[in-house]
Amino acid sequence: MDLNTHQKWLADFYHQRGWDQYSAQIGINFMTEEVGELSRAVRTLEIGRDHPGEHHATESEMVANLHEELGDVLDQVLFCASKYGVAADDLLSGSEQKLTKRFEGRD
């Protein structure tokens, strides 16, 4: 699946649940929550967690959680972009162009 296809699927999924009624600003709050969960997943992989009452995850569980949280953050970015009519491919090409121009002649 490509990102544009996923972005359309995601917008339809959110619409079916009425989640598209929320503003992009509220969506950014959801994204912030997801970034926090991603941070926790990375921390768990990098330095571990020592929290009483928590299940001690295996390496494969930690990696699976990282995948899940990365996907959640990506979905929030894509949904925010869709609120403003920005296609995923445009995000990617814009990023490449910006970085290429910024570091032009430095290689």
Q: pLDDT (tens digit, 9 = 90+) per residue, 38-87? A: 999 999 999 987 778 777 888 999 999 999 999 999 999 999 999 999 99
The number of residues making up the chain comes to 107
- For residues 4-15, give the mean pLDDT: 96
Phi then psi dihedrals of residue 63, to 5 deg: -65, -40
Q: Are 38 and 73 in contact (CB under 8 A)?
A: yes
Which residue's entry shows tokens 């598209």? Answer: 20
Q: Are 76 and 32 in contact (CB under 8 A)?
A: no
Q: What percent of the chain has pLDDT over 90?
A: 84
Alpha-carbon distance of 74 to 28, in angstroms, equals 12
| Total-model pTM | 0.88
Q: Are 82 and 11 in contact (CB under 8 A)?
A: yes
- For residues 78-98, give the mean pLDDT: 94
